[in-house]
Structure 1
Amino acid sequence: MATKQKTITRDDIVSKYMDEVLEKGQKPKSVYHFAKENDFTETEFYAFFGTLEGLEKEIFRLFLANTIDLLHKNADYQEYDMKNKMLSFYFTFFEILTANRSYVLQALKIDRNPIRNLVQLTSLREGFKEYVSEILTDDYRLEQEKFQKFQKFQEKAIQESGWLQLMMTIKFWIDDESAAFEKTDIFIEKSVNASFELMNVAPMNHLLDFGKFLFKEKIYSKQ
């Protein structure tokens, strides 16, 4: 009696795709080639993803989703203020990226056109912007009531600046050669402190501290 083939899952496809990219140093030529080389059918692939590009975006979205899931499992997290929620997000997110560093580095340089590589991050971007809105506290919104006319614009600006900050941190982490990526940890702490100063939530010296750190890193990296 023939053994029934195991039904492939979304997670199986994601895992197989990441393995193939790492082993071959390039992404599959097509869904057909990817499915054939990994012993499942195109129909099974299309049950979860419309394209290989959609699968690539899903991988980075999952890094975000897993981060948020871990944060919400922490009983203390809900009691944190905005800044500590953001710090917790960053440290958890970069732990997950570090656990998948080989894939992330390969995925973000697989195409000669850097813009095409960044397309993979579009789902991550949308999810991160939603997260930023989620952690905006009532206290912060009340503080901004005097600018009620511009409140929606301001919240959008916070989302976009938060995304830019995350991209800067990813770039710093990619280039970080320190043991256990300890310089990235410092970058995270100083940049988050500085960003909350710009929102009038922390002392002014955080901006100066972050500036000194970046200056020092730039000077010594050239030596």
Structure 2
Amino acid sequence: MKNIDASQQKILDLYSNYALRNNKKPLNVFTFCEDNQISETDFYFYYANFVQLEGDYLRFFMNQALVLISEEENYQAQSAKHKLLSFYYTFFEQLTMNRSLIIYLLDSEKNDLQNIKKMWPLKKEFQIFVRSLEISEPMMDNTSESMAKIERFKNKGIEELYWGHFMATLKFWLDDTSSNFEKTDIFIEKSVDTSFELLDVKPLKKLVDLGKFLFNEKVKNNG
């Protein structure tokens, strides 16, 4: 988890203030630095361009969420499912407190979230977090090389599965118009529950329940 120092935080604050007031990027790094009385050297110490900088907001909010949940009582003793739920609820609380900024960063491209470069730092951090949950069974010491390769492939698949789930949740939150984004909380609960049921090969009831919820939301939104 990469920490953000005071100078980097200042650049992020200045950039978000400009973007939200003007609804666009600064003209270039030179004008941004000159207008805010910071040196280009300081900017380029942290970021190569504005796209890289924008990606750091999402990574920052994720790291904030991870710090907060790690401070919860008995967090380390919780199951992988409850750790994941705690992360989701806390992360989306962070996003909600900064919704105008997140809308600016993602709303114009929300239908193609998987492919935008500003998501890459977040994906890397998120997959490290999923790996730490040890959702899959650990390999035995006497596991053969071929079985070890299969296990590594399966674990990578789980990371990609949950990244896809995370992106679906982010898209749901962006589109959510319910009071206090309560429908996002329902989506998180039902979809995380379903994902663990699927891994346990007990999916049907939970999958149907999730499907009904999504179908009802689609009907309401299109009605």
Task: Flag whether TM exceeds 0.5 (same fold).
Answer: yes
2:200 and 2:179 mapped to 1: Cα distance?
Answer: 33
- Once the two structures are TM-superposed, the CA of residue 173 in structure 1 deviates from its matched residue by 0.5
Pairs within 5 Å for 1:54-203: 54-109=52-107, 114=112, 118-137=116-135, 140-141=137-138, 148-200=148-200
Residues 54 and 78 (structure 1), Cα distance of their counterparts in 2 relative to 1, 3 Å cut: same
For structure 2, the residue ranges without an aligned partner over 5 or more in a row are 1-5
Q: TM-score, normalised by structure 2?
A: 0.87
2:66 and 2:201 mapped to 1: Cα distance?
Answer: 23
Residues 116 and 219 (structure 1), Cα distance of their counterparts in 2 relative to 1, 3 Å cut: closer
SS of aligned partner of 2:154: helix
- Once the two structures are TM-superposed, the CA of residue 136 in structure 1 deviates from its matched residue by 1.1
Contact 1:21 1:28 in 2 (8 A): yes
Pairs within 5 Å for 1:22-61: 22-61=20-59
Q: TM-score, normalised by structure 1?
A: 0.87
Residues 140 and 113 (structure 1), Cα distance of their counterparts in 2 relative to 1, 3 Å cut: closer
1:149 and 1:48 mapped to 2: Cα distance?
Answer: 37
Q: Which has the higher contact order (CA 8 A, sep 6+)?
A: 2
1:32 and 1:125 mapped to 2: Cα distance?
Answer: 30
Contact 1:26 1:110 in 2 (8 A): no
1:212 and 1:121 mapped to 2: Cα distance?
Answer: 30
Contact 1:193 1:202 in 2 (8 A): no
2:112 and 2:212 mapped to 1: Cα distance?
Answer: 29
Residues 116 and 93 (structure 1), Cα distance of their counterparts in 2 relative to 1, 3 Å cut: closer
Per-residue Cα deviation, 1:71-97 (whole angstroms, up to 9, x for no partner): 111122111101101100100000001
Residues 142 and 160 (structure 1), Cα distance of their counterparts in 2 relative to 1, 3 Å cut: same
1:48 and 1:120 mapped to 2: Cα distance?
Answer: 15
- Once the two structures are TM-superposed, the CA of residue 114 in structure 1 deviates from its matched residue by 4.9
RMSD, aligned α-carbons: 2.5
Contact 1:72 1:78 in 2 (8 A): yes
Deviates more, 1:186-195 or 1:207-216: 207-216
Contact 2:106 2:113 in 1 (8 A): no
**In the alignment, which residue of structure 1 is the partner of 2:3?**
none
Aligned residues: 214
- 1:20 corresponds, among 18, 21, 24, to 18
For structure 1, the residue ranges without an aligned partner over 5 or more in a row are 1-7
